[in-house]
């Protein structure tokens, strides 16, 4: 079955710098890759997602890139701000997982003032 | 659009007691999920409903956990009897259909003492 690995587990960046979180997946049939942000004590919220027919997607300061050949996808946050501090989860799903999300372990992003 | 509603927000019980959680998904969402999130970990799927039918309950500890979604709208998750390791946040999520983005409720934080 599908397996999703996420790195790093913790990322500390200076405010204003960029942050990159990377996930790899094992099932080449996976075709949907969302990213969720979870602030302390709050629910996970979808921030961006990408499907396998697209290589990159942007939404203001957030972008996701997908490399189907290498089976990895990455979250890019530019001009980081204190409110970006949270745990970020990647996930993957596809026909072979019955379209269930297989989650990464999460990355704690710390924005240093 | 109203979000996913869950209650209660917090619950403290002693081990071997029973507890129930309630979820009302976004109107029109056919798919409903119950996740367990232990502190510091990603969400773990317990059960997935499509309308009022169970799609996947392979990770539900059926000796103590049960869930139902009568009439294909609201859902309840029950634990009986509770164990210390059941302490976690129980998240309900819904999506328009299988494979669509998930929308999470605020969760119920369960503490078993």
CB contact under 8 Å between B103 and A46, yes or no, is: yes
- Map residue B44 onto helix, strand or coil: strand
Strands B19-24 and B75-79 turn out to be antiparallel
pLDDT computed for residue B38 by the predictor: 94
Per the model's pLDDT, the better-predicted residue between B99 and A23 turns out to be: A23
Gap between the Cα atoms of B92 and B85, Å rounded: 19
Cβ contacts (< 8 Å) between B9 and chain A: which residues? none
A44 in contact with B, Cβ within 8 Å: yes
Instruction: Of B2, B47, B6, B43, give the one whose Cα is nearest residue B23.
Output: B6
Confidence band of B88 (pLDDT split at 50, 70, 90): very high
Share of chain B above pLDDT 70, in %: 99
**In this structure, what token pair is assigned to residue A57?**
């997607």
CB contact under 8 Å between B41 and A34, yes or no, is: no
Total CB pairs under 8 A between chain A and B: 38
Strands A62-67 and A10-14 turn out to be unpaired
Share of chain B above pLDDT 90, in %: 87
Per the DSSP assignment, residues forming a β-bridge with A13 are A111
Mean pLDDT of B81-92: 97
* pLDDT exceeds cutoff 70 at B1: no
Residue to test with chain B: of A9, A43, A45, A107, most B Cβ within 10 A: A43
Gap between the Cα atoms of A108 and B66, Å rounded: 32
A29 in contact with B, Cβ within 8 Å: no
B53 in contact with A, Cβ within 8 Å: no
Our CA angle for A76, A91, B92, nearest 5°, is 120
Gap between the Cα atoms of B85 and B82, Å rounded: 8
- Tens-binned pLDDT, residue by residue, of chain A (113 aa): 788 999 999 999 999 999 999 999 999 999 999 999 999 999 999 999 999 988 999 999 999 999 999 999 999 999 999 999 999 999 999 877 778 899 999 999 999 99
């Amino acid at each position: 079955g599908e397996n999703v690995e996420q790195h790093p587990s913790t990322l500390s960046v200076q405010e204003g710098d960029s942050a990159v979180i990377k996930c790899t997946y094992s099932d080449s049939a996976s075709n949907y890759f969302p990213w969720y942000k979870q602030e302390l004590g709050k629910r996970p919220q979808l921030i961006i997602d990408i499907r396998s027919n697209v290589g990159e997607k942007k939404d203001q300061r957030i972008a996701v890139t997908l490399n189907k050949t290498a089976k990895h996808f990455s979250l890019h946050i530019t001009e980081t701000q204190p409110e970006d501090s949270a745990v970020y989860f990647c996930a993957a799903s596809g026909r072979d997982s019955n379209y269930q999300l297989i989650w990464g372990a999460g990355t704690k992003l710390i924005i240093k003032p | 659009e109203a979000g996913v509603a869950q209650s209660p927000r917090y619950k403290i019980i002693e081990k071997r007691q029973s507890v129930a959680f309630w979820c009302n998904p976004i109107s029109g969402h056919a798919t409903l999920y119950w996740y367990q999130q232990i502190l510091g970990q990603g969400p773990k799927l317990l059960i997935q409903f499509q309308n009022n039918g169970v799609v996947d309950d392979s990770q539900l500890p059926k000796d103590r956990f049960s869930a139902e979604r009568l009439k294909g709208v609201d859902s309840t998750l029950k634990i009986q009897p509770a164990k210390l390791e059941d302490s976690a946040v129980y998240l309900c999520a819904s999506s328009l259909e299988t494979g669509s983005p998930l929308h999470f409720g605020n969760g119920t934080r369960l503490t078993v003492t």
